[in-house]
Structure 1
C-alpha cells in the first residue's frame, strides 16, 4: 500500500510538469498549439478507457498508476524536446 501511495504522489508531481510544459506550448499558439491540444484530449480519453479495461480485467490499481506514470514521463520527454 505504501508503494501505491508514493506512486500516486509521484504521478501528481510528474503530471504537473506536463501541465506546465503543455500550457507553455499552447500559449505560443499556432498549429503546434492546436495539435498539442487535440493530442492532450485524445490521450486522456484513451488512457481512461485503458485504465477501465485494466481494472475490469483484474489488474491492480498499482498497475494502472504505473501505466499512467509511463505515459506522463513519455509526454515530459517529448515536450522538453521541442
Structure 2
C-alpha cells in the first residue's frame, strides 16, 4: 500500500517537532559543559553522518528495486524518526 500524502505530511511534521525537542535537549547538555558536552558534540556529528549514509543507501536500493517515491519517502521519515526518538529517550534519562 502506498502511503498517502497526508500521512507523509503528518509524519514529517512529527519528525520536525521531535527533532526540535532533541536539539533543545542536546543544547542544554552542551551548555552545561564538561566531558558530557564534548561527547554529545562528537555523537551529534557521527550520528548525522551514519544516518545519512545508511538511509541514503536504503533509499537508493529501494529506488533501484522499483519502489514508489512515496514509499521511499515514508521509509526515510520512519528511519529518521526512530533515531530521533532514541536520542530523545537517551537525553531525558
TM over 0.5: same fold? yes
Residue 48 of structure 1 is matched in structure 2 by: 52
Q: Normalising to structure 1: TM-score of the pair?
A: 0.95
Separation in structure 2 between the aligned mates of residue 5 and residue 49 of structure 1, nearest angstrom: 23
Long gaps (5+) in structure 1: none
CA shift for structure 1 position 50: 1.1
Long gaps (5+) in structure 2: none
Separation in structure 2 between the aligned mates of residue 62 and residue 55 of structure 1, nearest angstrom: 10
Structure number with higher helix proportion: 1
Deviation per CA, 1:22-45, whole angstroms, max 9, x where unpaired? 000000000000000000000000
Runs of 4 or more off by more than 3 Å in structure 1? none
Superposed CA RMSD: 0.9
Structure 2 residue 82 is the aligned partner of structure 1 residue 73: no
Residue 16 of structure 2 is matched in structure 1 by: 12
CA shift for structure 1 position 55: 1.0
